[in-house]
Amino acid sequence: GGTGVRELPLFVAKDFGIFEKYGLDVELIATNGGSPLVQALVGGSMQSASVAAMAPIRAILSGANLAIVGGFLNKNMYSFVTRQQIQKPSDLKGKVIGVASFGAANEFSVLMVLKAFGLSPNDVNLRVAGGSLARLAAIEHGGIDATVVPHSNDAVATAHGMRILADLAKVVKEFPDGTVVMNRNFIQRERPTAKRFLQALSEAVYRLKTEPQLREKIVGNIQKRMRIDRKYAEQVYEEYNQVFSYPPRVGREGLQDVLDIMARQTGKPQGEFKIDRFLDESIMDELAAEGFFKKLEGRAN
């Protein structure tokens, strides 16, 4: 799901026939946000979704029979942008930080960067302030003091005199922004299919990271799929081709951070947030034990 750069490995798997190679007929369906994807998984109209960890965790907490089975993006590719007067993290105390909405990746990015800064959520005021560009405009006009936006907005922010206080990819060690979620029934009934899907995804990530000769074609595909110009498509490729996780596993520390934030927000007992309730990487473990990743690497050398 999604049409963003986060899905680049899925585009590569589709556009280079890697899914077909593993005997899969995969249709990539773009949706807006994590919740519709999770509903489609629960309802069985979709077998697998790629989404930030928050939506599946919420669904599992409320009884959905889902599991996160892998993760291909464990980095937070965002910038923490502030008005010029804010020069260091401690200047944020008492200030208003804009978020896209409560509960989604954007708010969690803010909470995780605050933690990295040694600040508590109570030190600041979070306010819903619209999409990325609306939030940047709100900083400019004094409605909010800071926000988190994708790296692609950095140029706009600096052109309007704002300060990029931190690059979250550097400050926040791990953030489960691209996870693979499946219905547990599907994992049990169609385990070989689920396994082939993760094999195809792994090969796509590996080739993206290690085969610069694919650059031209990938850039062209990014341009077409995201409907952006060539220069921007090249920037996307340069920024993202090395950041995906191989093998595509979820960073446990980042997932634990998200679970800790949710435990605090919901007031539910910590015991309900054990990692194994949400994460089932048994297929990834199986692939590793069978030497699948070693084989992939050997074939490419």
- Tell me how far apart the alpha carbons of residues 62 and 204 are, in angstroms, rounded to a whole number: 33
Residue 45 has pLDDT above 50, yes or no: yes
* pLDDT score for 300: 47
CA angle, 216 then 222 then 226, to 5°: 160
Pairwise CA distance, residues 274 & 55, whole Å: 16
Compute the average pLDDT of residues 44-69. Answer: 91
Taking only the tens place, the pLDDT of each residue in 227-238 is 889 999 999 999
Give the contacts of 265 (CB within 8 A, at least 6 positions apart): none
> What is the mean predicted confidence (pLDDT) over 102-119?
92
- Res. 37: pLDDT tops 90: no
Q: Please tell me which residue, 278 or 34, carries the higher pLDDT value.
A: 278
Q: What does the pLDDT read at residue 43?
A: 81
pLDDT per position as a tens digit, 72-110: 999 999 999 999 999 999 999 999 999 999 988 899 999
Q: What is the pLDDT of residue 2?
A: 40
Measured in degrees and rounded to the nearest 5, phi and psi for residue 44 equal 85, 5
How would you classify the pairing of strands 146-150 and 96-99? parallel
The predicted model gives 131-135 an average pLDDT of 94
Determine what percent of the chain is predicted with pLDDT higher than 70. 97
Contact 63, 42 (CB under 8 A): no
pLDDT confidence of residue 244:
97
- 295's enclosing H/E stretch is helix 292-300
In the structure, what pLDDT confidence band is assigned to residue 32 with cuts at 50, 70 and 90?
low
Q: Is the pLDDT of residue 296 over 50?
A: yes
With tokens 């994992």, the residue in question is 187
In the predicted model, is pLDDT for residue 172 greater than 60?
A: yes
For the cut 80, the answer to whether the pLDDT of residue 30 exceeds it is: no
Between 49 and 271, the more confident residue is: 271
62, with CB counted inside 10 A (0-12, 13-18, 19+), is exposed
Question: How does DSSP classify residue 94?
Answer: T
Q: What is the pLDDT of residue 215?
A: 97
The predicted model gives 152-180 an average pLDDT of 94
> Tokens 């990692």 — which residue?
275
Band the pLDDT of 28: cuts 50, 70, 90.
confident
Structure confidence at residue 104 (pLDDT) = 83
Residue 147 has pLDDT above 60, yes or no: yes
* Angle 166-250-36 from CA coordinates, rounded to 5°: 90
Which residue from 28, 25, 29, 7 is spatially nearest to 17, judged by alpha carbons? 25
Distance (Å, whole) CA 200 – CA 202: 5
Q: What is the mean pLDDT of residues 47-62?
A: 91
**The two three-digit tokens of residue 6, written as one number:** 């986060």
Name the band, by pLDDT with cuts 50, 70 and 90, for residue 1.
very low
Kindly report the average pLDDT of the chain as a whole number.
Answer: 93
Please enumerate in sequence order all residues whose Cβ is within 8 A of that of 178, keeping only pairs 6 or more positions apart, or say none.
6, 7, 9, 50, 51, 52, 71, 72, 73, 74, 244
As a whole number of angstroms, the distance between CA 95 and CA 117 comes to 14
**pLDDT of amino acid 33:** 67
